[in-house]
Structure 1
Amino acid sequence: MTANVSAAQDLAEDEGFLGFLVLGNNKRDVQTDTATPETVINAEEIQDRQAASVAELIDSVPGVTLVNAGTPTGAGINIRGFGADGTYGSNQKVQILLDGASMGSEELYRIGTQLYTDPSLFREVSVIRGTVGSFEYGSGIVGGVVKLETIDAADLTDGEIGLSGRQTFEHYGNGNTRVSSTILGWQPTEQLEFLLNYTYREQDNYKDGDGNEIGNTGYELPSYLVKGKYSFGEAADQSLTFSYSHTTSEEKDVPYDAFQALWFFGNVDRYIETTTSSLEYAYNPIGNDLIDLTATLSYADQYIEQEEVVNTNDELLNADHRYETTKLTVKNTSLFQTFGVGHSLRTGVEVIRKERLDADSAPGGTDKRFALFAIDEIDFGNGLSLTPALRYEIQDLKASSDGTYVTAGESFSNSEVMGGISARYAFENGFAIFGSLAYTTGMPILDDFDYATYETLMAQSEKAVTYELGASYDKVGLFSDDDQLKAKVNYWTTRLWDYTSGTNYQTIDRIETEGLEIEASYSHGSGAYVDMNANLSSGEWTYVDTSVADYERMPANSMGLTVGKNFNDTLDLSWEAVLTKDIGTTSGYAVHNVRATYAIETGFLKEAEVRLGIENLFDAQYTPHLATRAAAGRNVKLSLAAAF
């Protein structure tokens, strides 16, 4: 929406102003007020991007790349070179959280990231890159964290008593994708709210830029979300929030290998069911800065049922997988002063129980963890802030059944301390500089029972250290009274050793990676805006024989540029270019996308919008780096949304 910057400045100067106003028309806000490399995708951008999966939604974040896109089963998320690698869909180096529940992080052989939830369910998605901002979310996080927050009833009702809803229909030409999303929000009282969402998404095989049909890219993905919140206590300072989401996906006669769709392993009928639930208690008493407490009990259940099409009794093809993660997280934020220095101290305790069904290529067992963490944001009041963070975690792993090497009931225990510190200094002219140091350890996982050397692996944690250095600039009134420029540049370098999370672990001594990430946005009071992000990164393996080779899992060097204009909050037009360089055997490419959103004034609806997007406008033929199949050609996407 068009921002009145002058009025905002006047308001900010008024005594007693407590709010924070985000200025500009940009698709995405640059997080210039923190040393953490974080990108936030809000509800408006989620709708604007018309993404078919959560993975597709975040691939525009610098440092994030996908192992395939277009299907939930065959896609994986890679951040800064860690996470999905084409053999496994995910690992603990990238943590995915849905309303606080931990999703996936299993090294499931040749099946995707296990994140099948539809993008329509979310109000916000944030990506933390690297380790420094990860200590309250888990251990061994080298790539980053993807946090997903589901929509609230208040997002529809605006906190007012009554019933509100939103209906969205979408159609994508390439793949004949059909989407229907229905959301209802009801507030019977000011203290009670309910939300129901049902989304159905169906896609046929898509075609690449040369017009070739890419097999096994069709799918059905029905999802629903039920959510409720009850506020109580003095001035409604306490609340209980319950969230339950459920997604299924069914594929018939498809290759077991969901990444490369190769016939080598054989074909299967695959049914996937993902259930996530969480119950959160929050207490934030008015006038007491020492208590801002949340206790979240979450449960994530991923079930994959497979049956081979041709009966050969292959255990790999007939394997059923199930991953159940129960987690209790209790944390509190306290605001206080000591010797004139302000503190925002966040402390917490976490109890995790992960149980996995035994299957071929995925040994079963239980992984129990207990963790304590503390993050203190220290403000010295002169522009300088320091944020030390610490996490202590203990673990108990137990095999549930006899495997090729392990015996049922064998158990191993480990404990690790990890942490880091970031510093930021903000100058009065809008510039800020920052830096950080973070050390984390990836503790052994159940998959390590599958190796002959499991006794060694179960006592060895992966270790990684990351250094970051950067600067940001945030200026209102740069060229005129009603414009704003925000920019953030971040250099990082990571060294990982005691490597165990790969089939080639015995030959690897260490992995060293580095990169430069840039995010910038400019907006003008006339409605014009520019968004830009870029990633430059590289890495190398060092083998135990001291030889060195390129680390081929890094994202390609790339730049994204969006230029647009908002016309009186009625029409938003934008053009986006995504440019990448050659990397390894993957050729660089340039892809152009255009988007238009038109707000319809009906007089009886709260909101009505038509969105038109054309992705890969010039029908380019290309295969992104790390992908195992060609990307989709030109795709015309049409959406119609109405809210009441």
Structure 2
Amino acid sequence: MSYPSRRAALRMTTACTVILGLTAAASAQEAGVDLGQITLGESKREVQTNTATAVTLIDQDEIDDRQPGTIAELIDTVPGVSLVNGSTPQGSGINIRGYGANSTYGTDQKVAVVVDGASVGAEEIYRLGTQLFTDPFLYKSAEVIRGTVGSFEYGSGIIGGVVKLETKDASDFTNGEIGFVGTQTLEFSSNGGGITSSTNLAWKVSDDFEAMLNYTWRDQDLQQSGNGTEIGNSAFTLPSYLVKGRYTFGQNRDQSIALSYTVSNTDESDVPYDTFVTSGGMFGNVDRTVNSRTAALVYAYNPANDLIDLNVTLSYADQEITQEYIAGTSTCDDPSNPCRFQDGFPAGGFGTVNADHRYETTKLTAKNTALFDTGLINHELRTGFELINKKRLNANSAYGGTDKRVALYAIDTMDIGSWTVTPALRYEHSQIDGSTAPYDGNYSNDALMGGLSLRYAFNNGFAVFGSAAYTENLPIIDDLNNDIYMSQSEKSRTFEFGASYAASDVFSSGDSFSVKANLYQTALWDVTSYSARSSTSIDKIETKGLELEASYAMDSGLYVDLNANIVRAEEYGSENTLDDWRGAPADTLQLTLGKKFGEELDLSWEMQGSKRYEGTDAVVAGSVVHNLRATYKPSQGVLRNSQIRFGIENAFDKEYTPRLSTRAAPGRNFKVSIATTF
């Protein structure tokens, strides 16, 4: 899109904003709505004070309110979560507690992403980001579990945490009633001339059967940073759809079968191979298509028996990346450039830029939740069994093979008076078989992992908690070229300690206040995922930090949300070297002030601050960014059954590049959306 076209898009978006704002105000006045009448006192996000696990839940209301363009943008306000870029699906990644994505690979296998029970994501594809190509409009909730102690139900080697995404259901739109409901959302953004359309068709045929379809089309041109400079490689078009259905049957309707299927794909022409940068550089440009498909078939059985609550999930995740180098786009194509190879290939090598990748993960999970008592102890025992088969296509730049795993886990939440004691165990066995000579060996590994969390709740709303956890990251297909790596798992232990408080009528009648602080310390050794900065290898990585979440809401509708994250991390080299850990994020603070006028109007201001980072690898300036949001849900008048949202991100057009990111952040961005139900 040309510069004049972007200006036209900006004018169109601003005009839409003004018109919608005036219409909303007129509708409210026409309906006789008293915007000063308050009925509820609650903030945007509930602090999870009833558990020792460091977990944050983002519900449908917050997803809609934030108007995120990517999954990464949806969870970037969670303490402990940092983004590698984030405003585009390509070249972005999720970092939790210093692990996950980095500027070289989109994943290090220490952050798990789960969609409806399916494990999604690839291994270490060079310079291609997380490849979490999916759209926020497909999901009704996002849950982030930080650290290891709450992760044993979802995999091994999870040090950073787990991102759980749950797709929408038809009953979310029909409110459980029989009938047909459709919704249409249009969203516009000024920075990059973004346009998004999302359509939901939900049908509850009977009490026993429901089905829905979502189709979302999202398009964005090149964005601009705060100083007006175009951010290269920031344009994308992402069509996505979701098909989901559920059938309930059996005696007392105690059984059900649900099927969900999501598809997202992009088709890019003449874009940098290296998705982390803004121009082709030494690797040059490619034509690239990405097809991402996820399917989950779930059988649930929950009879009138406290010992049985069974879920069996068969899931399939398929990610296919096809790319072809465009001749002459690499700086190394210049014969005088020292990076040019003697055979005429660019330094990136056609093996890398012409590589086609495909990852297929099939997983069968059976888990049961049993409730029972043993004397004075109340148990919630979750047990599970998993069969996992991951297949990696042989590529020009990577080795193919299969990774077959068997896992067993048990997690027992025991309530003993004011105490909650939760031991957890996971056993996992892997068998990796290479498919391409000379890396066609066979390797077996297994590990027993576990943890224990303790929580004591006082009668006045206070609680203290602590945990210890140990996990192992078993070898992956990408390590087939190294016999040592293939017989050695990475090992990690984490200790956590914290306190929480939740109460109402704290400072005034009808208010609510909750706060949770969590200290953690993690050590990783037998390191195989990273190369050392100052030594031949890394002996150990240590990270420690403080995560804080707080929320306060008054009966008048005023509310405050606060999140803070402080991290210190170091890597110890094999030659007695000590460096700052390259994955450590900057310290951050987020503050939201808002007011709700009944159920109809929500106005908020959000400040996101990042402290100046000074480390071995980089010095990154601090930044303070302001965001404004307004949500209007008229209950009467011509706009009844509609929702209107307006947001300004980076309101003061701040020019900055966040720590861990490789591209400048977008400048000021006006967003407006209108959703209606029919």
> Same fold, TM exceeding 0.5?
yes
AA in 1 matched with 2:308:
I
Residue 372 in 1 paired to residue 408 in 2? yes
When residues 456 and 566 of structure 1 are mapped into structure 2, their CA distance, relative to the original with a 3 A threshold, is: same
Give per-residue Cα distances to partners, 1:240-265, cap 9 Å, x unaligned: 00000000011111111001234111
- Structure 1 position 105, deviation (Å): 4.5
Give per-residue Cα distances to partners, 1:143-177, cap 9 Å, x unaligned: 00000000000000111100012110000000100
Contact map agreement 1:37 1:128 (CA 8 A) in 2: yes
Residue of structure 2 in register with 1:160 after alignment: 177
Residue of structure 1 in register with 2:399 after alignment: 363
AA in 2 matched with 1:74:
G
Residue 497 in 1 paired to residue 514 in 2? no
Residue 583 in 1 paired to residue 583 in 2? no
- Structural mapping, 1:291-440, within 5 Å: 291-310=308-327, 314-380=350-416, 382-402=417-437, 406-408=438-440, 410-440=441-471
Q: Which moved more, 1:437-446 or 1:355-364?
A: 355-364
Residue of structure 2 in register with 1:229 after alignment: 246
AA in 2 matched with 1:521:
S
Using the alignment, how far apart are the partners of 1:605 and 1:155 within structure 2?
21
Match of 1:194 among 199, 211, 215: 211
- Structure 1 position 399, deviation (Å): 0.5
Using the alignment, how far apart are the partners of 1:224 and 1:613 within structure 2?
25
Contact map agreement 2:531 2:538 (CA 8 A) in 1: no
Q: Which moved more, 1:76-85 or 1:103-112?
A: 103-112
Gaps of 5+ in 2: 1-39, 329-344
For 2:484, what is the secondary structure of its paired residue? helix
Residue 185 in 1 paired to residue 202 in 2? yes
Using the alignment, how far apart are the partners of 1:186 and 1:133 within structure 2?
36
Contact map agreement 1:605 1:643 (CA 8 A) in 2: no
- Structure 1 position 362, deviation (Å): 2.5
AA in 1 matched with 2:119:
S
Give per-residue Cα distances to partners, 1:565-612, cap 9 Å, x unaligned: 001211110000001101121111000000001113455876211100
Using the alignment, how far apart are the partners of 2:536 and 2:470 within structure 1?
23
Using the alignment, how far apart are the partners of 1:105 and 1:128 within structure 2?
20
AA in 2 matched with 1:617:
A
Match of 2:654 among 608, 620, 640: 620
Residue of structure 1 in register with 2:142 after alignment: 125
- Structure 1 position 358, deviation (Å): 1.0
For 2:479, what is the secondary structure of its paired residue? helix
Residue of structure 1 in register with 2:58 after alignment: 41
Residue of structure 2 in register with 1:643 after alignment: 677
Using the alignment, how far apart are the partners of 1:82 and 1:163 within structure 2?
44
Give per-residue Cα distances to partners, 1:412-441, cap 9 Å, x unaligned: 001100000000000000000000000000
Match of 1:540 among 570, 573, 581: 570
Residue 252 in 1 paired to residue 282 in 2? no
Residue of structure 1 in register with 2:12 after alignment: none
Give per-residue Cα distances to partners, 1:193-237, cap 9 Å, x unaligned: 001000000000000000011111101000000000001112211
When residues 374 and 600 of structure 1 are mapped into structure 2, their CA distance, relative to the original with a 3 A threshold, is: same
Using the alignment, how far apart are the partners of 2:376 and 2:484 within structure 1?
50
Residue 442 in 1 paired to residue 473 in 2? yes
- Structural mapping, 1:529-608, within 5 Å: 529-584=559-614, 585-602=619-636, 607-608=641-642
For 1:546, what is the secondary structure of its paired residue? coil
Using the alignment, how far apart are the partners of 1:302 and 1:211 within structure 2?
35
* TM-align CA RMSD: 1.4
Residue of structure 1 in register with 2:34 after alignment: none
Contact map agreement 2:144 2:161 (CA 8 A) in 1: yes
TM-score normalised by L of structure 2: 0.89
- Structure 1 position 91, deviation (Å): 2.3
Match of 2:498 among 464, 470, 477: 470
- Structure 1 position 506, deviation (Å): 4.7
Match of 1:270 among 275, 279, 288: 288
- Structural mapping, 1:21-60, within 5 Å: 24-60=41-77
Query: Runs of 4+ in structure 1 displaced over 6 angstroms?
Result: none
- Structure 1 position 317, deviation (Å): 1.1
AA in 1 matched with 2:368:
N
Residue of structure 1 in register with 2:537 after alignment: 507
- Structural mapping, 1:104-119, within 5 Å: 104-119=121-136
Using the alignment, how far apart are the partners of 1:170 and 1:162 within structure 2?
27
Contact map agreement 2:42 2:512 (CA 8 A) in 1: no
Residue of structure 1 in register with 2:301 after alignment: 283
For 2:480, what is the secondary structure of its paired residue? helix
When residues 407 and 113 of structure 1 are mapped into structure 2, their CA distance, relative to the original with a 3 A threshold, is: closer
Using the alignment, how far apart are the partners of 2:637 and 2:378 within structure 1?
49
Residue 633 in 1 paired to residue 667 in 2? yes
When residues 602 and 431 of structure 1 are mapped into structure 2, their CA distance, relative to the original with a 3 A threshold, is: same
- Structural mapping, 1:238-249, within 5 Å: 238-249=255-266
Using the alignment, how far apart are the partners of 1:259 and 1:59 within structure 2?
18
Residue of structure 1 in register with 2:189 after alignment: 172
Residue of structure 1 in register with 2:342 after alignment: none
- Structure 1 position 553, deviation (Å): 1.2
TM-score normalised by L of structure 1: 0.94
For 2:667, what is the secondary structure of its paired residue? coil
Residue of structure 2 in register with 1:10 after alignment: none
- Structure 1 position 284, deviation (Å): 0.7
AA in 1 matched with 2:300:
A
Using the alignment, how far apart are the partners of 1:165 and 1:379 within structure 2?
44
